Structure 1
Amino acid sequence: MRGVNADSQPMRSARPGTAAGRLAVPAGVLAAVVGAFAYVGAVDPNEPGHYPVCPLLRLTGVYCPGCGGLRSAHAFVHGDLLAALQDNAAAVLGYLGFAVLWTVWVVRAVRGRPLRIDLGPAQLWTLGALLLVFTVVRNLPFGDRLHP
Structure 2
Amino acid sequence: MRDVNADRQRVLPRVAPLRRLAVPAGVLAAVAGAFAYVGTVDPNEPGHYPACPLLQYTGVFCPGCGGLRSAHAVVHGDFAGALQDNAMAVLGYAGFAVLWTVWVVRAARGRPLRLDLGPVHLWAAGTLLLVFTVVRNLPFGDWLHP
Residue of structure 2 equivalent to 1:21: 19
The one-letter amino acid paired with 2:131 is V
Given that 1:26 and 1:106 are in contact with CA atoms closer than 8 Å, whether structure 2 keeps it comes out as: yes
Residues 103-148 of structure 1: CA deviation (Å, up to 9, x unaligned) = 0000000000000001000000000000000000000000000000
Residue of structure 1 equivalent to 2:132: 134
The question of 1:53 aligning with 2:51 is answered yes
Question: What fraction of aligned residue pairs are identical, expressed as a percent?
Answer: 80
Alpha-carbon shift at residue 20 of structure 1 (Å): 0.3
What runs of 5+ residues in structure 1 fail to find an aligned partner? 1-14
What runs of 5+ residues in structure 2 fail to find an aligned partner? 1-12
Structure with higher Rg: it is: 1
The question of 1:143 aligning with 2:141 is answered yes
Cα distance in 2 between the residues matched to 1:137 and 1:16: 50
Residues 18-66 of structure 1: CA deviation (Å, up to 9, x unaligned) = 1100000000000000000000000000000000000111111000000
Residue of structure 2 equivalent to 1:33: 31
The one-letter amino acid paired with 1:84 is A
Residue of structure 2 equivalent to 1:121: 119
Higher relative contact order (CA 8 A, sep 6+): 2
Cα distance in 1 between the residues matched to 2:14 and 2:132: 42
TM-score (norm 2): 0.90
Alpha-carbon shift at residue 16 of structure 1 (Å): 6.7
Given that 1:16 and 1:22 are in contact with CA atoms closer than 8 Å, whether structure 2 keeps it comes out as: no
- Structure 1 residue ranges, 4+ long, deviating more than 2 angstroms after superposition: none
Using the TM superposition, name which of 89-98 and 15-24 deviates more: 15-24
